[in-house]
A and B are shown apart, each in its own frame.
Chain A
Amino acid sequence: MNPPVPPEIGSHVIPLMAALMLVVQMLLIAQRMLLTSIRLFAIQSLLLAGIAAVVAYYYNASHVYVVAVLTFIGKVVFLPWLLNRLVHRIQIHQETDPLLNAPSSMLVCGALTLLGYSVTRPFTSLEKLGSNTLAIALALLLTGFFLMINRRKALTQVLALLTVENGVMLAAVALTTYGMPLVVELGIFFDVLVAVMVLGILVYRIRENFASMDTGKLDQLKG
């Protein structure tokens, strides 16, 4: 079967939403309040769910709707709720000073985004969704790694991991014709949910044992 030729608008909307995801990522990097960071992650995931829905609509691929709904339920509703509850339980609301301050973080992330664009250049020919989406996905991945290194609170590192995962899922939408097979999407969905639950348990236990969730204090094991 041939996919119906997508109207011009589809290939404009998707890069636009992907770019918005990157903007949200930048806000997340500058943000130090944990609850706001969780909200920003929810917005980013909402955009991802939106992209999946747009792909499903323009390419008549009904199984991608399922992906959109799963992303919405999991990453926009459930995980932010879970992380919010965790923040209230451990009573730490603010991130300490990151290694790099906000302006220099922005510069680094700008450089990482450029890197994302330059390494994906050979791929632009095989993309159907405009040439930007894959570059943005890679930029999300790289800035997610940066966020992980730059912050000390265990909870922010969980958020960083989740944005890396969002980047990979965006790459999956950008590179493949109709997203991944449904069984794989289901597997990834449950893995992410369980991962955050496990991480939440660990964060809680670290907070109990160290009276803090600074991962900088996890420095006993060496050599």
Chain B
Amino acid sequence: MLLLTPILLAPLAAALLCLLVPSRRVMAALGVLAFATTLGLGIVLLNEVLAHGVVKEWSEFLSADALSAWMVLLISVVSLATSLYAGRYFQRDMAAGVVTPGRMREFFVLTPLFGSGMFLVVLANNLGVMWAAVEGTALSSVLLVALYNRRNSLEAAWKYVIMGSLGLALALLGTVFVYAAACKSNPDSLPSFNWSYLMSVARQLDPYQLKLAFVFALVGYGTKAGFAPMHTWLPDAHSEAPSPTSAMLSGVSLKIALYALLRFHILTTASLHGRADVGFSCHLLMGFGLFSMLLAPPFILVQKNLKRMLAYSSLEHVGLICVGVALNSPLTIFGALLHMGYHALTKPVLFFAAGNIHQTFHSLEFRIIGPGVGKVLPVTVMLMGLAALAAVGLPPFGLFFSELIIISGGLTAHQTTVSVIVLVALLVSFCGILQQLTRILLGARKPGDHPTDARRTDGVPAMALLLGSLLLFSVWLPAPLLELMRQAAAIIGGTP
């Protein structure tokens, strides 16, 4: 039975149908249906991967190992919650006259396309196809960022597309270098560009060329993943995009770029196996990860815009995931994967809540939203507070455990400096986020300042779904999921 193909085709079909159907409700329902389908298929895929190892289709054109299956689950969950949230969100935007029906249709067509592109990134076996798919996700999300057609959103979209495309041009050069290495090791024929083939001949590939390829891929995909100092597009795009899009960008899109980079990391490390410079890609990842982690907290502390603050927090989490991988012990890689999952469940909730606040107060500036949002939007603020506690890493939420795993893994591996830097960065952003949020969420409202169109239950199903699963998976990780992540960590860690 075909399994990977339907995962790609379900969102694609929803996108095509959304071009035709007239009503907003049907479009929103189609999105929910498509990603609920992929989530179901993702769970089937999880079992298949655990039972049979790598799943392949179309003569190995598509292939899914444990790492891909894990990413499929993340994409599905975040996209599902986004589709759930988007229906009501755009109903309000339409009522307020912020978007035209044409622009709204654009959203419901492009979002499944965006999802479909991300599925292709993680399911493609061919590294070139993977590159094309990453570029596809960038292009489909650019118009989403520019959806409101305001000056600021156009500026954000322009920066995003120019930075992203230049970065991806470098990533393409890196991809070309990998293929050149494959050609050189096998000069008489047209070698396959499949990941599985490259891994099988990794030891024969020219290590110098692979190192060069990794550097280009790091800068290229790193730009898309939001590593500092190539992150300048990230806060702009996250703050100016419609909130459902911000949730997808932050929740999964950054991690998809990181996934693409990890494939290069795995290949480079495999090719350098047994040499003195085997840690080459780890060192580079560590550098960029730590720099991102250190750069984000000051910007969180001085931030005046809610969604920009959340974007910088995403930057920090991506940095932490990167550090976890770069510490390169089975424990920290497992922690990094776990962190990816928990972050994907947490950050969209914050962006959905920010969307509700934006629609009620027509601004994201702290001084305009101003103290006492809790009096106006009690449910939103309660859920947002919980998600914020989770995001800064307080127990009982999972991010606490994954951060603890990464830090203690670093200590066990005698990387004390790294662990200390991570701890300090997390602590500063902990203070920053909580201080900023308590200032606007709690307290009494200024007299005579009560927005009238506050709606209490908007977006609650989507937020409750994510927070509920976050709580559930924080206290209880099902055995198959745990096994999947263990295998995925083994793929990254290079252990057989």
* B132 pairs with A181, CB closer than 8 A: no
Q: Which residues on the A side are within 8 Å of B235 (C-beta)? A: 221, 223
Among the 9-residue stretches A12-20, A40-48, A190-198, the one with 4 or more Cβ atoms under 8 Å from chain B is A190-198
Q: What per-residue 1/0 map shows which CB atoms of B259-271 lie under 8 Å from chain A? A: 0000000000000
Take A164-B166, A202-B142 as given contacts and tell me if A191 and B132 are in contact as well, using a CB distance cutoff of 8 Å.
yes
* A176 pairs with B303, CB closer than 8 A: no
A187 to B134, CA, bound (A): 11
> How many residues of A are counted as interface, with CB atoms below 8 angstroms from the partner's CB atoms?
44
Among the 9-residue stretches B6-14, B186-194, B467-475, the one with 4 or more Cβ atoms under 8 Å from chain A is B186-194
* B166 pairs with A191, CB closer than 8 A: no
* A187 pairs with B173, CB closer than 8 A: no
Chain B residue with Cβ nearest A178: B190
* B154 pairs with A177, CB closer than 8 A: no
Among the 9-residue stretches B42-50, B155-163, B274-282, B344-352, the one with 4 or more Cβ atoms under 8 Å from chain A is B155-163
* A184 pairs with B193, CB closer than 8 A: yes
A72 to B150, CA, bound (A): 37
A111 CB to nearest B CB, Å: 20
A7 within 8 Å of B (CB atoms): no
Q: Which residues on the B side are within 8 Å of A177 (C-beta)? A: 183, 187, 190
Q: Which residues on the B side are within 8 Å of A195 (C-beta)? A: 135, 139, 161, 165
Take A122-B208, A171-B176 as given contacts and tell me if A184 and B161 are in contact as well, using a CB distance cutoff of 8 Å.
no
Among the 9-residue stretches B65-73, B123-131, B285-293, the one with 4 or more Cβ atoms under 8 Å from chain A is B123-131
Q: Is the interface of B mostly helix, strand, loop or mixed?
A: helix
Chain B residue with Cβ nearest A63: B190
Take A206-B158, A220-B151 as given contacts and tell me if A191 and B139 are in contact as well, using a CB distance cutoff of 8 Å.
yes
* A188 pairs with B172, CB closer than 8 A: yes
A198 to B126, CA, bound (A): 25
* A183 pairs with B128, CB closer than 8 A: yes
A2-55, CB < 8 A from B: 2
A190 to B172, CA, bound (A): 14
B430 within 8 Å of A (CB atoms): no
Q: What per-residue 1/0 map shows which CB atoms of A157-198 lie under 8 Å from chain B? A: 100010011001001100111101101100110110011001
Q: What per-residue 1/0 map shows which CB atoms of A192-223 lie under 8 Å from chain B? A: 00110011011001100110000100111101
Chain B residue with Cβ nearest A199: B161
Chain A residue with Cβ nearest B177: A175
* A215 pairs with B132, CB closer than 8 A: no
Q: Which residues on the B side are within 8 Å of A206 (C-beta)? A: 154, 158
A62 to B155, CA, bound (A): 44
A82-141, CB < 8 A from B: 122, 126, 141
B136 within 8 Å of A (CB atoms): yes
* B129 pairs with A183, CB closer than 8 A: yes
Take A175-B177, A183-B128, A184-B126 as given contacts and tell me if A221 and B156 are in contact as well, using a CB distance cutoff of 8 Å.
yes
A140 to B229, CA, bound (A): 24
A26 to B155, CA, bound (A): 29
What are 17 A-B interface contacts by the 8 Å CB criterion?
A141-B169, A154-B158, A168-B173, A175-B179, A176-B179, A177-B183, A184-B193, A188-B132, A191-B139, A198-B143, A202-B146, A202-B158, A206-B158, A215-B158, A223-B235, A223-B303, A223-B308
